[in-house]
Amino acid sequence: MFNRYHVISIAALLFASIPAWPQAALPPDAPAAPTPVAKPDNAVPAGFWKRFIKAYADDWHPAPGPSEPAKFRGYPAPVDSPPYPFTLWPMGGTVNIGYNNATAYPLTTALQTGPHGDWWKKANIQMYGWLDLGMNISTSSARPYGNLPAAYSEVPNTFQVDQATFYIERTPDTVQTDHFDWGFRFTNLYGLDYRFTTAEGYFSQQLLNNPKSNGTIGNKYGYDPVMMYVDLYFPGLGQGTDVRVGRYISLPDIEAQLAPNNYTYTHSLLYTYDCYTQTGVNMTTKWSNHWITQVGFSGGCEAAPWAKDAKATGNACIAYVFSDGGDNIYVCANSINSGKYNYNNLSAYYTTWYHKFGHSKWHMDWETWYQYMKDVPNVNNPAASSLLVENSDGAYCNTPTQLTCFAPEWATVHYITRQFGKHDAIIVRNEYMDDIKGQRTGFQTKYSEHDISWNHWIGSTVVFRPEIRYEHAYDAPAYNNGTKKSQLMFAADMIFFY
């Protein structure tokens, strides 16, 4: 039977045969770089599988020579992808207005160079995905999720399938300004990481209300349609407006749910315990090269509008870009509603600053959030237990007599990165989080976390991300199922795109 160990063996044979590692296409959700890679001019072979294999050969061994620069409206992209997960500073809930957002992975290339290639090119439909395999060695050992609050490597000392994905999408042409255009995306995700992306109302029975004999909730592996939306592009409103309708990744954050959209394999605590996806409508307008605004309406964090715990929720964000695109300040009120306790019904406010250090290969990202829920059940009061919602923790209120209380938390995370050549980068992450009432992590404590990671790419279709991570809980043992205050972990993943 074909299993994960066969996958590793096949991948190892492929990697061993690669003598050179040149740059090619971009990772998902990143706009195309201003200077795309030249395509080889040798003949395309007949047969789907031959074209598919040739796409990898062309990615790993591109033909030399100049290529035509991609068109764009705005400042040049500040960083390179690879080795980073993006070329423009991240902004959720929209395509990058004024830039090419299409991808060209081997499956799409094989379709576009086949007998119906002209139709695929004209339709501008991309089909692609990846397999993300992860492992970790940790000082924690408790099963099943002893590495928590660390994520996504929450199962200690193991090998795992984090994500197996399949995308179908069409991206609107936002470089042009003379006609309406549209796009869509449907993202399928299977793996351990569904435990984080699950939203109430989308196959959530796999995780919620599904107790196991070992005391945990939910299946270990599961499926989630993590993105399902339509993009409507209106070039005449401002310098371009994108209206996104459906289920999309929550707007702010340096990090994102899908593996290739992150600097590192594991996630910061800041990202792990905030809003992941929303279902609704979001309008992003580019007013100039400096100003971008976003306004939207959804059913709340991790809740489909038809879910029993959905809450009418607004969002409003503004971004200012300066220093010829080298700096970006992004301020976002992502979840505006009553904030009353429910399934992940967070009220959350974010500020993110991205900065490139002149014309060097250094840049940094700094994000801070404050979030809260009101009327959270008191875990120290037995009378409040009936008020708890599955998979939504209570709070450690000030006195045992309180039935509910206000539960806030705040966090800040800082990334600094250095690129080496076209395919390598070193990333250092430091963060601090104060779970003031223990409502997010389940432990009333302050945390610090420190991580150093190496990103190494082979073309644009394989990436290795080993890292070393150390974290500490100051006020209560939060690791190894609540028995240790500190945790040291070596973790790594490999992403293989198709």
Burial environment of residue 13 by CB neighbours within 10 A (0 to 12, 13 to 18, 19 or more): exposed
Model pLDDT, residue 208: 83
Is 2 or 355 the better-scoring residue by pLDDT? 355
Contacts of 43 by beta carbon, 8 Å cutoff, 6+ apart? none
Whole-angstrom CA distances from 337 to 238, 316, 437 are 28, 12, 21
Contact 350, 331 (CB under 8 A): yes
Give residue 34's pLDDT band: very low, low, confident or very high (50, 70, 90).
very low
The C-alpha atoms of residue 166 and residue 164 are separated, in whole angstroms, by: 7
Strand partners of residue 319:
292, 330
Question: Nearest CA to 251 among 177, 346, 339, 315?
Answer: 315
The C-alpha atoms of residue 254 and residue 413 are separated, in whole angstroms, by: 9
Instruction: Give 388-423 as a DSSP string.
Output: -BTTB--B--SSTT-SEEEEEEEEEEEEEEEEETTT
The C-alpha atoms of residue 17 and residue 32 are separated, in whole angstroms, by: 28
Q: What average pLDDT does the chain have?
A: 90
Contact 338, 309 (CB under 8 A): no
pLDDT reading at 21 higher than 80? no
Contact 194, 222 (CB under 8 A): yes
Contacts of 76 by beta carbon, 8 Å cutoff, 6+ apart? 34, 324, 325
Rounded mean pLDDT of 25-41? Answer: 41
Rounded mean pLDDT of 440-458? Answer: 98
Model pLDDT, residue 22: 34
Whole-angstrom CA distances from 60 to 25, 127, 361 are 10, 20, 23
Name the 3-class secondary structure at 162. strand
Model pLDDT, residue 46: 82
Rounded mean pLDDT of 305-315? Answer: 93
**Which domains are seen in the chain, by residue range?**
83-96+121-497 (2.40.160.10)
**pLDDT tens-digit map of 192-220:** 999 999 999 999 999 987 665 555 678 89
Whole-angstrom CA distances from 158 to 4, 67, 134, 207, 404 are 13, 44, 8, 21, 38
Q: What is the pTM of this model?
A: 0.88
